[in-house]
Amino acid sequence: MTLWIAKFLSGRRGKVCVGNESSRSRLLPNGVPQGSPLSPTLFNLFLNDLPVPMDNNDILLSYADDIVVASRDVNVEYAKERLQRILDNLYGWLYENRLHACSEKSAVTLFTKNRKMGTKTIEVTLNGVPIPQKKTQKILGVTFDTFLCFSPHVESIVSTCIKKINFVKAFLWTVEELVRQGIKILTPSITLTKLKQFTLRIHLRKSCNQHRHACLRSAALPHCNSGLNAMPIAALGTLLENDYMRIGTALRLGLTSGNNIVADDNAFLTPFIFRKLDSQIQKRLGLQNRFNRICLLKETLDLRRRRNEAFVELRKSKQENKFSKKRNMNDTPSSNAEEIHSMDGILANLPNCSLDELEQHLETIRLKLSIINPPLDLIMKHNVIPILVRCLTEFQRPNLQFRATWAITNIASSDFEHTKAVVDCQAVPHLINLVRPEYGTIATQAVWALGNITGDCAQFRDLCIHGGYMDALLSLITTDTQIDSLRTYSWALSNLCRYKDPPPMKEVILRVLPYVRGMLCSNDILTIVDGLWALTYASDASEEYIPIIINIPILKNIFCMDLNEFYPPLIRIFGNISSHKDHSYTQAILDNGMLPLLIPLINSPTVNFRKETIWFMSNLAAGTQSQIQSFIDAQILPLIFSRLITDKTVVKTEACWVFRNILSGGTVDHMTYVLKMDDFVPQLCQLLLIGDFALQVDILKCIYAMMCAAHKTGLFEQVAIEVETCDGLTLIEDLQYSDSIRVANFAAAIIKKHFSVNLYYIFLV
């Protein structure tokens, strides 16, 4: 076999022929015969022992004399080191086999989805000669760039096609001039009118030039490379007709970097991609009368077959700005340095004082702890809390008890560590012992102190409840209770309902709510507000408490109140009620005429008011179809859309949920109403420019729901064109490479589901 191959390759001679002339014959000592079917096989055998990388993350690809070496790693430097080793081994093989590697024709390119890494410099050498780094690399006819985007390939192919079309146009212009001059050319039957028709089709290049998202076979117009002078006009006309069909056939709504590219012998072939021709070009080409348009839609995924309710989510408010859970008594201006120094001396001598002296000192301590910045560090330093707790047991000295209780109240109103110090000193059981009707103002003061403790965390709340605090507190609430005390009790009840991890026991809620109902009947505004906060916490702690709230006659009292006075707790109660799975609870709010009263609050000057109101609206938009219809009839959506565009991020998020829920759970009419709102699609897409990852996720979810709704309403083509026209598709594509995994995943899901489809407009004669 070796001898046969040697004889096949030896003694070959060749000459160059041009027309009827030829050069003299010359010996060909190197290479393989061109055109022979054995030549590619022999060359592949020669390259068969190329050194193959041992690492699984390194690859070597060869196609004839083109060699591609690649190395991948999460660390660019490691990948570069391995790539350099591969190049060194490759050069050694080339040297042994007497082959020359052309460094100036080689190039290195970094491929990454991280745009921040795309500018990194890669320095590798071949036989000591640096290999230039390029942002684009052409492999087997396809141009790739650093971010694996096909834009450079698209622009190159479109430019080539336009040049070829311009050549044809110039040739036809020459023919047209000859016809004008009365010269008979080639085929006399071809008239000027027909030539104009052919020339007119060349205007299709305008569409090519306008839209760079086009991938065409590089050999799409093969006749443009040949001499056209010898071609009959009839044949030329047929070719132009075919070119028009080839270029104008596939009009697609969008192109993504995720399209599959299929290789053939000459180039990479993708579906021909253009936007719709504008109506003016369509008229000039006479498409309306000459061609039938067939729209073929092929879905590439078979997912998302779940019910609409899968995307309709009922949410609970985070409630960042909750009502005050702790209260300090009689805040006064801060003390100066001399007063603090005097306080230090009093606290140092406190353990050695008599009860009379202690009573006097506690009055000073009580007042010092009531200032804006109390000296709590001194209290902790001198271990004063155990002394205060002992004073709670001095039943023969009510003034001492009262002052000690006051001081403990203000200590517990501070940070968790100070409240914990009070609890660790066993103050809770002694304070509960003071919560009795016969102790009067001391009992009220003890309730205040215990309210601060229960308002600190769920653990302290449950500790007080298990110690009998709730029973003692409820025993103080009577019809004869004074207003000042009733305010304190109402606030203390709200703290018993606070926290969700874990939520209050059901028995606690059942016992507290009847007393809250009585608070709502009070004539005192502060008492009513605290009662409403109790309902807010109860409805927020667990959904199982919402039926309890609905089933007692409290709602009627709430609906009769002045919304401006009680807005913060009321809107949260409404939101929590509307978040329940039973839509009849939401209907109760609507039946009592609350929706029109909430509309002005959408434009409230307070950000948190706007946020809470639109949060409630988002839960309402996740209700029944009749509830959504009442929502639309009230003309609320334009107001919320305005908030979505112009407001702060926290408000934008809630507004986004409103539209997402309607697009996911509404009827076709509801979806159509939203999709046809002025500038809805472009404005929604432009929100993706905001750099907040959480907001981007919500916007992407809304866009996903929008595209699903567009399919259901038959508006997909219109909406998709709007998304692409406003550069929304480009924004979504870019977000596939976001630093946030959630953002990238949602963006990829939209592209894969709604824009990775083959949508053609086929023109048939």
- Residues 6+ away with beta carbon under 8 Å from 517: 552, 553, 554, 557
246 or 541, which is more confident? 541
Looking at residues 431-445, what average pLDDT do you find?
A: 90
| Predicted structure pTM score | 0.52
With a CB cutoff of 8 Å and minimum separation 6, the contacts of 64 are 40, 43
Enumerate residues 6+ apart whose C-beta is below 8 A from 564. Answer: none
What integer is the mean pLDDT of 81-93? 84
Q: Tell me: pLDDT of 265 over 50.
A: no
Lowest mean pLDDT among 176-190, 238-252, 369-383, 720-734: 238-252
- Cβ pair 221, 205 in contact under 8 A: no
- List all residues 6 or more positions away from 621 whose beta carbon is below 8 Å from its beta carbon: 628, 631, 657, 658, 659, 661, 662, 665, 666
Residue 705 confidence class, pLDDT cut points 50, 70, 90: very high
Highest mean pLDDT among 42-51, 371-380, 449-458: 449-458
> Does 718 have pLDDT greater than 80?
yes
Q: What is the pLDDT of residue 429?
A: 92
Q: What is the pLDDT of residue 640?
A: 92
* Local confidence band at 105 (pLDDT 50, 70, 90 cut-offs): confident
The rounded radius of gyration (Å) of the Cα atoms in the chain is 41
Q: Is 204 a residue whose pLDDT tops 80? A: no
Cα gap 586→598, rounded to integer Å: 14
Q: Centre a 10 Å sphere on the Cβ of residue 202 and count the other Cβ atoms it contains.
A: 19
Q: Which amino acid would we find at residue 743?
A: V
* pLDDT confidence tier of residue 464, bands split at 50, 70 and 90: very high
pLDDT band at 173 (very low <50, low <70, confident <90, very high): low
Of the given ranges (323-337, 467-481, 695-709), which has the lowest mean pLDDT? 323-337
Burial of 227 (0-12, 13-18, 19+ CB in 10 A): exposed
C-alpha–C-alpha distance, residues 406 and 414, integer Å: 13
Please report the DSSP string for 118-153 in residue order. Answer: GG-----EETTEEPPB-SEEEETTEEEETT--SHHH
Q: What is the average per-residue pLDDT within 419-429?
A: 91
Residue 257 binned pLDDT confidence (cut-offs 50, 70, 90) = very low
- The dihedral sign for the CA sequence 111, 112, 113, 118: negative
Residue 259 pLDDT > 50, yes or no? no
**Do the Cβ atoms of 474 and 515 come closer than 8 Å?**
yes
Residues 294-301: what's their mean pLDDT?
25
In this predicted structure, what is the pLDDT of residue 529? Answer: 84
Secondary structure, 3-state, 219-273: CCCHHHHCCCCCCCHHHHHHHHHHHHHHHHCCCCCCCCCCCCCEECCCCEECCCC
Q: How many CB atoms lie within 10 A of CB 664?
A: 24
Q: Is 383 left (phi over 0), alpha (psi -120 to 50) or beta?
A: left
pLDDT for residue 50: 78
Q: What is the structure's pLDDT at 702? A: 93
Residue scoring higher pLDDT (589 or 533): 533
Place 231 in a pLDDT band, splitting at 50, 70 and 90.
Answer: very low
Give the pairing of strands 125-126 and 129-130: antiparallel
pLDDT at 190 over 50: no
Where are the strands (E) in 72-210, listed by range? 125-126, 129-130, 136-139, 142-145
| Tokens 């096909």 found at | 150
- What mean pLDDT is reported for the chain? 72
- φ, ψ at 536 (rounded to 5°): -60, -50
Q: What is the pLDDT of residue 219?
A: 29
Mean pLDDT score, 499-522: 84
What distance in Å separates the CA atoms of residue 577 and residue 545, rounded to the nearest whole number?
A: 10
- Please report the pLDDT score of residue 478 as a whole number: 85
Q: In the predicted model, is pLDDT for residue 696 greater than 70?
A: yes
Q: How confident is the model at residue 342 (pLDDT cuts 50, 70, 90)?
A: low
Residue 318 or 724, more confident: 724
Residue of 727 and 234 predicted with greater confidence: 727
Higher pLDDT, 556 or 481: 481
Q: Which two tokens stand for residue 600?
A: 């002005």
Is the pLDDT at 511 greater than 80? The verdict is yes
486 half-sphere exposure, CB direction, 13 A CA radius: 21
pLDDT tens readout for residues 618-651 = 888 888 888 889 888 888 899 999 999 999 999 9
Are 495 and 451 a contacting pair, CB within 8 Å? yes
Torsion of the alpha carbons at 255, 261, 262 and 267, rounded to the nearest 10? 90
- What CA–CA distance (Å, rounded) separates 670 from 308? 13
Q: Which two tokens stand for residue 76?
A: 């660019």
Cα(first)–Cα(last) distance of the chain, in Å?
Answer: 58
What's the pLDDT band for 687 if we cut at 50, 70, 90? very high
Cβ neighbours of 504 (radius 10 Å): 23
CA dist., res. 563 & res. 551, Å (int): 22
pLDDT at 175 (0 to 100) = 57
* 19, containing H or E segment: none
Least confident of 22-36, 202-216, 344-358: 202-216
Which pLDDT score is estimated for 397? 86
Within 8 A by CB and 6+ apart from 195, the residues are 172, 175, 176, 179, 233
CA–CA dist 419, 287 (Å, integer)? 81
- For residue 623, the tally of other CB atoms under 10 A from its CB is 21
Confidence of residue 306 (pLDDT cuts 50, 70, 90): very low
Confidence of residue 271 (pLDDT cuts 50, 70, 90): very low
Highest mean pLDDT among 269-283, 476-490, 673-687: 673-687
- The predicted model gives 702-723 an average pLDDT of 91
Dihedral, CA atoms, 692, 695, 697, 701, nearest 10 degrees? Answer: -160
* Residue 371 per-residue DSSP state: B
Q: Which residue blocks in 273-375 are alpha helix, DSSP H?
A: 279-285, 287-290, 337-349, 355-368
What distance in Å separates the CA atoms of residue 531 and residue 58, rounded to the nearest whole number? 69
- Read off the pLDDT of each residue in 679-707 and give the average, rounded to a whole number: 92
Q: Which of 203-212, 532-541, 604-613, 701-710 has the highest mean pLDDT?
A: 701-710
Q: Which two tokens stand for residue 64?
A: 């004839």
Element (H, E) at 427: helix 427-433
Average pLDDT over residues 152-159: 79
Q: Which residue has the higher pLDDT, 103 or 482?
A: 482
Could you tell me the pLDDT band of residue 78, with boundaries at 50, 70 and 90?
confident
- Structural tokens at position 220: 């799409």
> Closest Cα to residue 589, out of 563, 565, 564?
563
Q: How do residues 18-59 score in pLDDT, each as one tens digit?
A: 777 788 888 887 777 777 777 788 777 777 777 877 777 788
pLDDT score at 131: 86
